Structure 1
Amino acid sequence: MSPRHTAVPPEVPAPTADGCKATREILDRIGDKWSLYLIITLANGVRRFNELRRGIDGISQRMLTLTLRGLERDGLVTRTMYPTIPPRVDYELTELGRTLLEPVMALVNWADTNKDVIAKAQQRFDATAESCCDSNHAAVQQRR
């Protein structure tokens, strides 16, 4: 094996159906587009709903509400509502949510470090795929 690839440690338990399902559901939650943005945004402390909405480009009010509700349900975010007019609602990471910052930031840093290498790999793949498709198309045209 090359030094860039490491084997899976032997202490990793064999997956079970229940374990895989639970893990998949958790990873689906934290791995979706908006959850990662929210977790990173809330890393800097308490934020109001509208502050989150303005700070996350492209998120709709409905999607922000649904994502925050899911993160709250999973115990990653707390919601504090103040009985003011208009109502004030604050969100922050829980202790459990803060433990997620290290692996999330490791993933963000990995993506940032490797974005150029990945872009080049995509360009090579796309050029090969286009070349392959062009030659297949030409072969089909010649048969007609």
Structure 2
Amino acid sequence: MNYIGGKWKAVILLHLIEKKRYNELRKELSMVTERTISLQLKELEEDGLIKRTVYTTKPPLKVEYQLTAFGKTLIPLLNAIADWGKETAKRDKRVSVVK
């Protein structure tokens, strides 16, 4: 749980199953503050779950995030959590579904 604990780490990892630019991730996680996303990404990178790639060939700066091989071992767990959440939301009207 040290690797994926917290409110947003699992959500961020789920979104990073496919490689994403930082701005794409921000748009998909509009309910999360930019500061929180940045901090969580830094921790996930330090833990070896994601890889950050910076492209400086021309302005504007391009930054991409993707799962590492270690991070990809979490995909079955992340998908199971997402499926459980969707099923729970169908039964429980108090829970909203986040895409």
TM-score, structure 2 length as denominator? 0.80
- Matched position secondary structure for 2:59: coil
Mapped partners of 2:59, 2:72: distance in 1: 31
- Corresponding position of 2:80: 106
Cα separation, 2, equivalents of 1:59 and 1:75 = 22
Displaced runs of 4 or more, over 4 A: none
Which sections of structure 1, spanning at least 5 residues, go unmatched? 1-26, 123-144
Question: What is the DSSP-based 3-state SS (H/G/I as helix, E as strand, rest coil) of the residue aligned with 1:57?
Answer: coil
Equivalent residues, number: 92
Q: Return the structure number with greater helix share.
A: 1
1:56 maps onto 2:59 in alignment: no
The aligned amino acid for 1:86 is P
Unaligned ranges ≥5, structure 2: 95-99
Determine the C-alpha separation between the residues in 1 that align with 2:81 and 2:14: 12
Partner residue, 2:55: 82
Deviations 1:94-139 (A, max 9, x none): 11111101012112222333442xx49x9xxxxxxxxxxxxxxxxx
Residue 65 of structure 1 aligns with which residue?
A: 38
CA displacement, residues 23-63 of structure 1 (integer Å, 9 cap, x when unaligned): xxxx14413222111111111x2111111101112112211
Q: Structure 1 residues 82 and 101, CA, compared in 2 at 3 Å: closer, same or farther?
A: same
Distance 2:87 2:47 in 1: 30
In our comparison, the structure showing a higher alpha carbon Rg is: 1
Could you report, residue by residue, the CA deviation over 1:64-114 in whole angstroms, capped at 9, with x for unpaired residues?
110100000110000000113121111000111111010121122223334
> Counting strand residues as a fraction of each chain, which structure ranks higher?
2
